[in-house]
Structure 1
Amino acid sequence: MSERVVPAADRRRRRPTKAGVVLSEELIVETALRLIEEHGADALSVRRLGRALGADPSSLYRYFRHTDDLLLAVADELIGRTLRTWCPTGDWRADLRDLGLRMHAGALAQPRAAVLSSYRVTGRVHEIQAVEAILGVVRGAGFPDPEAVRIYHAFVDQCLAFGALDSASIAMPKTARAADADVWRATYARLPAATHPHIAATARHLVADMPRSSYPAALDLLLSAAAARLAEIRAGEEG
């Protein structure tokens, strides 16, 4: 795509496309998500997207300046899908845990798009809403602003990193995933205690645990550290 774009007020297509649908930013993003998951981001082009929508590819410039602009909108939609399912309760630790797990699950539901969006900053409505909401939870718990930003940063980066890692694994061919999982059983579980005492002692746990995502455990460790830090802050205020 080029750098052309039509003002928001003039974007709506008044006549249906050849496929009988009226174009909208939401429809384009949904279609782009589907194409990314089916064919990968490298296959996403104006021509392919126009064909999938039954529309002239040039009509997409009414909504997005270029392909990267569209990818940012896709990333923002993934954030929005998570936020729409999240209902904070007022318990900061439980709320962050719930949000983190939902964000991670959302990434696994759209693994190829999640890998692409994990390192981008969209500056769009859903991302802004997420930043505001998470900071609100952390500041509401009583963390001073510098600490609140550190925890926000660690929380989001941890979730995005695990989402990208686990999504990349899911996107692998099933045979490759099965082969990776089998290495723990076929190689590590057979190492002798004489040469690898720590691996041998924990082998059965490695076989059971390593094929699964460690994100829930990592998230709990992060939140436990945050809770301990909050206790320190409160103790200092009382002292």
Structure 2
Amino acid sequence: MAKRVVPEAARRRRRPTKQGQVLTHQLIVETALRMLREHGAAGLSARRLGLALGADASTVYRYFRGMDDLVRAIADELIGTAMADWRPAGDWRADLRELGLRIYHAYLAHPQAAVLTASRVTGRPNEVAGDEAILGILRGAGFADGDAVRIYHAFIDQSLAFAILDAATLALPRAAREADEEVWQATYARLPARTHPNIAATAPLLVAEMNDSAYATALDMLLSSASAQLR
């Protein structure tokens, strides 16, 4: 049975926690983000969160129906960070490009949280506001509704997919990440043209390119395709 969620007005503790803080929805989300950054998804539990907050673990359930509800709140917090202070400038392509980069970088700033949350659909206010803004940009640019939805779908999935991919790399232990990066120089750059002519011909470019994210390139390709369709 789902746990009863106390209305916002009734959620505040009557006294501060051991750290001298009064618990709020926002404080719990921010603390959970810090725990994910320091310990990864395996280190996030109601018990550990309660300890970090200086409160009993059951206190978390006064704010969230469960840990999955908290994960959704974290995802919405990251979208909110991306949307903060953003205002459309009136150029649909530039506006979408800025939003895509904002979403990508908001998730990448919290790699462990990104891996845990970027695949989730929350239905929470920040996510809904972001979807409304993106669809509004596309419809305002002149795209038919069906095309607007199709481009929105590709746009948001691409942004979040790259966030997960690149965040997973950042979440690796440093030694493992550096070992992966070295493969392009240690292996690909040394393959002979006799057996691998295409790799050998492009090896210097592969070494220079492949350890960087391709998100900005993929985003520009998507927007160029949409622009050509609109014309």
Any idea what the Cα deviations from partners look like across 1:74-96, whole Å, max 9, x if unmatched?
11000000100423211010011
C-alpha deviation, 1:186, in angstroms:
1.0
Q: Which residue of 1 aligns with 2:214?
A: 214
C-alpha deviation, 1:2, in angstroms:
5.9
5+ residue gaps in structure 2? none
Q: Which residue of 1 aligns with 2:58?
A: 58
Q: Take 1:119 and 1:167, find their aligned partners in 2: how far apart are those partners?
A: 12
Q: Take 2:203 and 2:105, find their aligned partners in 1: how far apart are those partners?
A: 28
Q: Which residue of 2 aligns with 1:190?
A: 190
Q: Take 1:61 and 1:117, find their aligned partners in 2: how far apart are those partners?
A: 19
TM-score norm. by structure 2 comes to: 0.97
**What letter is aligned with 1:187?**
T
Structure 2 matches for 1:91-106, cutoff 5 A?
A: 91-106=91-106
Structure 2 matches for 1:35-184, cutoff 5 A?
A: 35-184=35-184
Residue 100 of structure 1 aligns to a residue whose secondary structure is helix
Q: Take 1:59 and 1:13, find their aligned partners in 2: how far apart are those partners?
A: 9
Q: Which residue of 2 aligns with 1:234?
A: none
Any idea what the Cα deviations from partners look like across 1:83-132, whole Å, max 9, x if unmatched?
00423211010011111111111111100101111110011010010010
**What letter is aligned with 2:164?**
A
**What letter is aligned with 2:128?**
I
C-alpha deviation, 1:42, in angstroms:
2.0
C-alpha deviation, 1:9, in angstroms:
3.0
Q: Runs of 4+ in structure 1 displaced over 6 angstroms?
A: none
**What letter is aligned with 1:40?**
G
5+ residue gaps in structure 1? 232-239
Counting aligned pairs with the same residue, the percent is: 65
C-alpha deviation, 1:227, in angstroms:
0.2
Any idea what the Cα deviations from partners look like across 1:171-210, whole Å, max 9, x if unmatched?
1111111111111111111111111111111110000000
Q: Take 2:158 and 2:184, find their aligned partners in 1: how far apart are those partners?
A: 25
Q: Which residue of 2 aligns with 1:230?
A: 230
**What letter is aligned with 2:116?**
L
- Larger displacement relative to structure 2 (73-82 or 173-182): 173-182
Q: Take 2:175 and 2:53, find their aligned partners in 1: how far apart are those partners?
A: 33
Q: Which residue of 2 aligns with 1:7?
A: 7
- Paired residues, what number? 231
C-alpha deviation, 1:70, in angstroms:
0.6
Residue 2 and residue 55 in structure 1: after superposition, are their counterparts in 2 closer, same or farther (change >3 A)?
A: farther
**What letter is aligned with 1:186?**
A
Any idea what the Cα deviations from partners look like across 1:42-88, whole Å, max 9, x if unmatched?
22111111111111222222111100011100110000001004232
Residue 129 of structure 1 aligns to a residue whose secondary structure is helix
Q: Take 1:173 and 1:140, find their aligned partners in 2: how far apart are those partners?
A: 44
Q: Take 2:43 and 2:178, find their aligned partners in 1: how far apart are those partners?
A: 26
1:20 aligns with 2:16: no
What CA RMSD, in Å, does the superposition of the two structures yield over aligned residues? Answer: 1.3
